[in-house]
A and B are shown apart, each in its own frame.
Chain A
Amino acid sequence: MLETETHEQIEQHKIITKWHQLITSVVISSAVECSSVDLSRKRELVRRNTDKIAIVRRILFEHIGGKNVMLDCGMHMGFNDERRFPDFSFITPEGPVTSFIDCVIISHFHLDHCGALPYLTEMVGYTGPIYMTHPTKAIAPILLEDMRKIAVEKKGEGNFFTSQMIKDCMKKVIAVTLHQSLMVDSQLEIKAYYAGHVLGAAMFKVTVGSQSIVYTGDYNMTPDRHLGAAWVDKCRPDVLITESTYATTIRDSKRCRERDFLKKVTECIDRGGKVLIPVFALGRAQELCILLDTHWERMNLKTPVYFAVGLTEKANNYYKMFITWTNQNIKKTFVQRNMFDFKHIKPFDKSYIDNPGSMVVLAPPGMLHAGLSLQIFKKWAPNENNMVIMPGFCVIGTVGHKILNGAKQVEFENRQVVDVKMSVEYMSFSAHADAKGIMQLIQYCEPKSVLLVHGEAVKMEFLRDKIKQEFNLECYMPANGETCNIPTPHKLSIDVSLGLLKAENVKYNNQPPNPKRSRVIHGVLVVKDSSMCIMDVDEACKEAGINRHIIRFTSTVKLEDPAPSYKTAEKLLKIFQEKLPGWNVTFADGAISVETVLIKVEGSEDELKSVYISWTNQDEELGTNVLEILQSIGQVS
């Protein structure tokens, strides 16, 4: 009579990814927020039954108050025009972004993750909340200012944000601490986890109702010389959005890479060459400085090691003050010896570029796309004794990317052509998780599905297959501008009356243990206004303000048994106990009860006995059975 449609009980996470190649700017819109889910479900339950016969089509959940969270707001380092900023019109074709985006989360201070933030807040006009960790809030404005200077003052670009805009933007940032559960509004909750990678880098869990995602940003699963390993608890998100920069690499041990790096540096300075190491001023640079400083100390080397002026001291001050974000070792010993007070590393001056003899220079930026490192590169590239070591990933379009791909000549905007005769080395020092690390993270947080971003398609496919194979998880890798709909099961949390639970518990504890038998709860779900509660049938009627109508049946069976009626009753009791094993058959006040079915014997000695059987409509099956048993006795005797 009543039919139920078979359909998947799913909510949909709508994930829109949009970024220019490597800019991570994923906008996640979870279609339904918690309370509207509950409400629409209730409406559905009600509606179906008022129209009892017809099949009520499932009401699709409206996009009521869906949450949109912007995860990172980076810029592309390979473009010099408007393409370097994300295209926000993609996510909200019409209307202001503020009403569309509930909050912006920045994972770490690298410009490909936060570079477009002043553009978003000061030029596009976003005024909603922005979250990042304390170190990111401290360091990001320095890198932004640095980039702005290179773009505007050196390259003369227009339509760029100003110094004041960076300051104004940072004032709007809300700093978060690790593991803090922060409510953005009454439904949207965020929580940061340690990500390694760079100082202050964090992964974020975003929760709306019973649905959640974990967004990793860049992360590192192996501790290095100055940072710890990423960690996340078993939070079982519906979707894990992970970067997959090194999707296929399983890198050799850190020690080997470090030895290799030092060997290359030593070889070059031994032949009188100059070593250029382009680095981000903050992050990998500090690790390399610790590495070089300890090596120089141990080997008693005299070759000068330089680090770009200004940023060094400031950068190291940040590391000092946020030492709780570094690894255990540094934390423990910082009072005795600050790891960031380097003995052998001196500030660099531009006049040193042409100094004779060997030297090692760490200079920003890391991808040789502008600034000091590029300036030094132009001078040193033509000499085959020299060496450039690229310690990290380079974006397409940068000089770094070109020479890593074997370019022997590099042409610049002003038609200047530089021959690249110096040796070009690549060392994977970027603190990104490799395939092993990504798999490890999946193991940590046990997501229900995985979404890969930030990597090359072929490598990502390899990783996706691996994830599907090993964890049997759905794995998505949406292309630029593609929308990814990820079905997630929806959990409903409802109330149950304590009395009902306790009664069940008593019943359960009185039964002989049987692991194969499931515990059963029987009650009535009351859906009233905005609440849902399961209770005992009488409680439910009271709650709903209605009266139960009890249907009772009483049937009579004639039995011939010449004995006092209590004797007859005793006989019947035995029969029922035999025929209905496992059922609760009792005898009290002259009546037999089989569970709630009552049996009473009437009539005097030597006479035909009347046996009355009485049961309620809910016991129909049992009642008929008892009746049948009695009738069969009557026929036999």
Chain B
Amino acid sequence: MKLYCLSSHPNKPCYILRFKEITIMLDCGLSAQTALNFIPLPLVPSSRLANLPSWLPRESVETQLEGELKECCGRVFVDSAPEFCPPLANMVDYSEIDVILISNYSSMLALPFITEGTGFKGVVYATEPTLQIGKLFLEELVEYLEQTPNKNQAKYWKEILHLLPPPLSDSFKPRSWRQLYTLGDVKNSLARIKVVGYDEKLDVYGALKVTAVSSGYCLGSSNWVIASDYEKVAYVSGSSTLTTHPRPMDQSVLKNSNVLILTGLTQTPTANPDTMLGELCMAVAMTLRANGSVLIPCYPSGVVYDLFECLSSHLDSLNLSTIPMFFISPVADMSLGYSNILAEWLSSNKQNKVYLPEEPFPHGYLVKTGRLKHYKRIYSDGFSTDFRQPCVVFCGHPSLRFGDAVHFIEQWGSNPLHTVIFTEPDFPHMDALAPFQPLAMKAVHCPIDTSLNFTQANKLIRELKPSTLVVPQAYTQPPPAHVHRSELVIDQESRYVISITRGEVVSLAVRRHSAKVNLDPVLADHILASEVRPGTSLATITAALHVKDNQHNIKELPEDPYVPKKRRLSKGDDTLKSLRYEWGALDVDVFVRKLKQEGINDVKIEPNGSGYIIHLEGADTVIQVEDRSTHIYSEASEVSLRLKLRSILMQCLNSF
């Protein structure tokens, strides 16, 4: 068993597992952090961004670099269409992948890079919410980038990384970065997904059984169990033990696996989600009371549902019910609609509502009563007439490089009454804000990451008791921002832990001694076992082996059509069929008595080493008896005597 790591970001994982000659890709996350190095794409041309000074390295005389780099408050940005870092392409040929398993909608954004134009022929498995919401994520991302294209195709900066200031100089293999796929790619790629339910056992070429189990992180999020008859691999990616809106995590089936691959822990290990939610509510209320507006950059699904719910009731309690909330995303309507029809994937609290029948999320009600208004874009019909301040705006993209959020930052940035609140943990908020500096509006950092923290993860590992644990290398040392917090690591004591990082391959040895076969009932019925000691029986078997779809079946041997009727030396099968094996020691006294009964009287026994030698007088035959063997030496002409001896000997020995 081998595991390849294709992604450097533990929360946007991408692994390849080779197991029983099957190649499985585990997730295909896309890190959008590379986009932070690029100039934002404003909806309406921004003179501020357009007039940012060009940047050139002092030593350089490269004229080709002209216009590729711009500077804003000491940071250098690439003025080009944003690029993304897809999973490492040269480790495994994508056309060899049999199956892709997707854990949740946030770890599938590289799917079109993997499946389109690569010769990929496999199947992709994901739950229905992962497919539906993942589709929204992919479509939103593509639409953001296509609506505000940047015609520049900067590439020379990648050649002179060493001359650039950080963080640009730290870019990881920027030559492998790629521009985003098209809507067509997204459509074709998603068409390859086969929808699965939780606890549905999927057969992979008869060799493996694959099952998705609830991971509690977001709608439809799953962990995977990959099992052969003897081995079990658990892949845990993006899990949560907190009670929010998704179905709770199912841990029982993950227990006692041979290998546990654990990734997708919280990106903000020092922030408590509940505290952050409280701080967010307070920051919103303070801003609104001061007549300012709030921008919350967000993804189109996920924690944003909980924010609608909590914030609306918080504002109600403060008599701020008249403040409108705007949710702006090309897929806002779909997201709100879908979330309310996925009852089976929700926490039992929310699930019970549909039995009433009431919508599981209150946002349907908030929309009906006009508290929450949603639009595809800010230039959509009705937005300009409905829009009033103060208000709370939820919109993408959390990187602040594209999407309508760019517009609000540009509009509100110079006003200290307004606040931008960062909740999505994917992007460091100061990096996100860098191209908009200097900024007068307040920036509040309330990351809400419900994924497992280190304490929860270590507890989970103790309960799951895997034989081997595989974690991203980043989890074996404290995060760079908290180097002294030694508790922010995965516990490596008392357990075999393998760490893995992008570009690495690790072998995961799983010892196995046997395989499963199906025993045909007709054959089973003809098997006669000999009890060799109480509770243990043996039976010699010779049977036909049928191998199909990696399944072994054994049946009775057919009559060999090649054996002619007249007796002939047949090769193998028929002789094997009646074969028995002798065991145990020979009782020489019994043997001799039997010889005499059969008329062989003239017997001379003499001890020889650990055994005996028996001479048959009158015949040129010697029998050498040892503890574990009996050897009969005879003249070829004495056939009948030899056969007689054989028969007597076999009567005296046990066999199976």
Contact = CB atoms under 8 A, between A and B. Distances in A.
Contact of A179 (B200, B355, B636): B200
B554 interface: yes
Nearest to B634: A555
Contacts of B342: 324
A45 B513 contact: no
Interface string B193-223: 0001111110000000001000000000000
B33 to A, nearest CB: 32
A9 B576 CA distance: 25
Interface in B621-656: 627-636, 642, 646, 649-650, 653-654, 656
Interface stretch (A14-22, A250-258, A292-300, A313-321): A313-321
Contacts of B543: 520-522
B528 A529 contact: no
Given A518-B558, A520-B573, A521-B542, A49 B530 contact: yes
B320 interface: no
Contacts of A499: 513
B610 to A, nearest CB: 13
A580 B568 CA distance: 11
Interface string A487-524: 00111111111110100100000000000101111111
A544 B533 CA distance: 8
B585 interface: yes
B644 to A, nearest CB: 13
Contacts of A556: 633-636
A232 interface: no
Contacts of A497: 513-514
Contact of A549 (B340, B519, B579, B583): B583
Interface stretch (B14-22, B442-450, B544-552): B544-552
Given A45-B527, A520-B545, A620-B646, A554 B633 contact: yes
Contacts of B532: 544, 546
A617 B650 contact: yes
Interface in B324-379: 333-334, 337-338, 340-344, 351, 354-355, 357, 359-360
A138 B180 CA distance: 43
A557 interface: yes
B529 A496 contact: no
A493 B537 CA distance: 18
Interface in A161-209: 175, 177-182
Contacts, number: 267
Contacts of B546: 518-519
Contacts of B540: 522-525, 537
Interface string B549-564: 0001010011001000
Given A177-B197, A177-B198, A182-B199, A521 B541 contact: yes
Which of B512, B538, B547, B649 gathers the greatest number of chain A CB atoms within 10 Å?
A: B538
Contacts of B279: none
A335 B630 contact: no
Contact of A525 (B541, B586, B632): B541
Contacts of B316: none
Interface stretch (A118-126, A459-467, A621-629): A621-629
B586 A46 contact: no
Contact of B634 (A521, A544, A553): A553
A492 B524 contact: yes
Contacts of A344: none
A199 to B, nearest CB: 12
Contacts of B333: 335
B515 interface: yes
A526 B536 contact: yes
A46 B198 CA distance: 42
A627 B635 CA distance: 11
Given A520-B557, A546-B532, A553 B646 contact: yes
A180 B528 contact: no
Contacts of B360: 321
A621 B569 contact: yes
B581 interface: yes
B572 A520 contact: yes
Contact of B521 (A138, A323, A489, A545): A489
A92 interface: no
Nearest to A612: B633
A263 interface: no
A375 interface: no
A415 interface: no
Nearest to A550: B629
A552 B128 CA distance: 67
B568 to A, nearest CB: 9
B575 A622 contact: yes
A629 to B, nearest CB: 10
A426 interface: no
Contacts of A580: 569
Contacts of A421: none
Interface string A526-539: 11110011100100
Contacts of B575: 621-622
Interface string A11-53: 0000000000000000000000000000001100110111000
B517 A495 contact: yes
Given A45-B528, A45-B537, A177-B344, A521 B545 contact: yes
A541 interface: yes
Contacts of B654: 549
B535 A528 contact: yes
B180 to A, nearest CB: 25
Contact of A625 (B338, B512, B569): B569
Contacts of A617: 582, 646, 650
B487 interface: no
B463 interface: no
B581 A321 contact: no
Contact of B343 (A322, A494, A552, A621): A322
Interface in A584-637: 613, 617-618, 620-622, 625, 627, 630-631
Given A323-B341, A549-B629, A552-B631, A524 B552 contact: no
Nearest to A183: B199
A137 B343 CA distance: 12
Interface in A538-590: 540-541, 544-557, 580, 582-583
A137 B353 CA distance: 12
Nearest to A534: B541
Nearest to B199: A180
Contact of B341 (A179, A324, A524, A583): A324
Nearest to B554: A521
A549 B586 contact: yes
Which of A50, A321, A490 gathers the greatest number of chain B CB atoms within 10 Å?
A: A321
A486 B70 CA distance: 80
Contacts of B515: 495-496, 498, 501
A21 B232 CA distance: 49
Contacts of B484: none
B608 to A, nearest CB: 16
A525 B547 CA distance: 19
Interface in A34-83: 41-42, 45-46, 48-50
B1 interface: no
Contact of B334 (A335, A524, A541, A554): A335
A178 B197 CA distance: 7
Contacts of B61: none
Interface string B577-602: 00101111110000000000000000
A141 B649 CA distance: 78
B514 A498 contact: yes
> Nearest 5 A-B pairs (CB), nearest first?
A9-B521, A179-B200, A335-B337, A518-B544, A492-B519
Given A493-B518, A549-B628, A553-B634, 19 more contacts: A4-B525, A9-B524, A45-B529, A138-B354, A180-B199, A314-B357, A335-B338, A518-B544, A521-B541, A522-B542, A549-B583, A549-B585, A549-B630, A550-B629, A553-B631, A553-B632, A555-B636, A555-B642, A625-B569
6 contacts: A175-B351, A181-B200, A321-B357, A518-B558, A528-B537, A537-B540
